[in-house]
Structure 1
Amino acid sequence: MQPIAQGLLGEFGGTGAEVGRGLTLRMDHGSQYTADDFLNQVRFWGVTPSFAFVAEPQTNGVAERFNRTLKEQAIHGRIFGNLEEVRAAAVEFKDRYNRHWRLEKLGFMSPHEARHAATMKEAA
């Protein structure tokens, strides 16, 4: 739960009610994701849970592909002295990915640009 809270704080400046409204969290059916406490907290933040289909791991493919890209771009081939260096590499990649990577599925916008466009569309 802490990584989600950190992401909300970093992107939206807080972890209060409805701060993540409009976001969807893709996850599998692991016990940590189906626990009432987890689901209640995610819903408090306004994030919509989206479960992968049972026995069809490809439906969790977007999350798995991002994890692979993170490892390829920020982790593999590097030697880290401590956990803080790993954390810093992951944060640097996340920031670069969100602000600069152009994704076909987002109309060749970065995730940051797509979120901004969606927010402006909702406000109009």
Structure 2
Amino acid sequence: MLMITKQRKRILDLIMQSDVHLSAEMVHDILKNDIDPIGVATVYRALNLLYEAGYINRIHHPQYGYVYDKNVNEHYHFHCTKCHNILDVDLPYGEGINEEIKRHINGDVCSHSLMFEGICEDCKKNTES
């Protein structure tokens, strides 16, 4: 069981209160000016530990490396190629895909991730204006 230190708690609280997926750099930028600043190396270590312990989700981002998400349930994501935000996609997670691939490769599949790409609603509105 992961020990939740004061710094890890601050980082976890920030992720849980965020409506967007945050990179380690974003987390650091928010917390570095607090009364009790947190160093960038501590942010990276804490995010990795919180992810490995199952408190948060980690998603590969084409620009930022990884971004972190409070939603730890299996779900899909959408990457806007204009603003580079990552959005959760509210579709049922397809467990059947794991079984299909398992049969196809004659091996074991534990999970899968799927990233859709395109232009988000906000960016689409801004281009149409």
> Common fold, TM-score beyond 0.5?
no
Query: TM-score, normalising length from structure 2?
Result: 0.26
Choose 1 or 2 for highest CA Rg.
2
The structure, 1 or 2, with the larger RCO (C-alpha pairs under 8 Å, 6+ apart) is 2
TM-score norm. by structure 1 comes to 0.27
Structure with the larger strand share: 2
